[in-house]
Amino acid sequence: MDIRYINRTDVVVSAVSVLNLIFMSINTALESLILFYLGNIIAIACLIYWGILKDATKYLARSLLIGGIVGVIYTVLDNLLAEVNYINYLRIEDIKLLSTPISVVLFWIFLITTMIYLYHRLRSTFSRFIFPSIITGSTAFLFSLVLFILGDISRQWVWSIGEPPMLSIGPIPLYVPLALFVTFFLSPYIVGIPGAPVADEDSFFAKYFKVSNNPLSGGIRCTIILSLSIYGLLQLFSRL
C-alpha cells in the first residue's frame, strides 16, 4: 500500500459531508423543506466550485459528473417505487422530476458524488481494488442509512417496510442501504480500470475485465447497478 497525504480536496469533501449531515440533523427538529434544500445546494455548490477550480487530480469533477447522471436517471426507478408506495415523499409543495422531488434529486447527486470520490482517493492509495471497494461500500451503507433515517425523521420521505414487515433498521428497509453497499462495492466497474496503479495491472480483474474510465458511461453504469441492486434486493427481501 502506498500511503498518500490527505489533500485539500479531501478536507473539502469531508467538511461538506459533515456540514450536510449537520443540516439534516437540525432539520429533524424543524422539519423544513427549505433547510433540506439549503444543505444539499450548499454541499453541491461547494463541490462544483472546488472540483472545477481547485482540484488538480480532477477526481472530484469526475465524481460530480457520475453523481449528476445518476441523480437524474435514477428518477425513472424512483418513479416506479413511488407509484407502488415503496417510498412516499411527504413534501407535496416541492417541484418534481417524474415522482421525485428536486430536493431528493440533489440529495442523490450529493451522496453518489461523495462516495465515488471516496473510491477514487482510496484507489490512489491501495495497490489492489478490493480494499477500496469494501471500504467504500461499507461507508456508503452506513452514511446512507444515517441520512435516510434523518430524512425520515424530518418528514421528507417514508420508506415502506411492507406487510408483513421486511428486514429493516429503524424506519429504513435493509435492502436500501444494502443496495448502496453492493453498488459501491462494484466501484471498479463504475469508475473503470485505466489510471489505476501499475501494481494492479497483473491482476485477473485488470487483465480480463477492461472498463472505460469515461465518467459519462460510468454514470450510466452506476445507475444501472444501483437500480438493479435496489430492485433485486427488494424482490428478495419481500419474499423472506
Q: What's the pTM value of the predicted model, to 2 decimals?
A: 0.92
Q: How many CB atoms lie within 10 A of CB 237?
A: 18
CA-to-CA distance for 168 and 22, rounded, in angstroms? 24
Percent of the chain with pLDDT over 90: 79
Cβ–Cβ under 8 Å, residues 166 and 175? yes
Average pLDDT of the chain, as a whole number: 91
Per residue in 95-107, pLDDT tens? 999 999 999 999 9
Query: What residues does each domain of the chain span?
Result: 8-237
| pLDDT for position 226 | 98
Question: Which are the contacts of 47, defined by CB distance < 8 A and separation ≥ 6?
Answer: 12, 13, 16, 60, 64, 110, 113, 114
Which of 12-21, 34-43, 54-63 shows the lowest per-residue confidence on average (mean pLDDT)?
A: 54-63
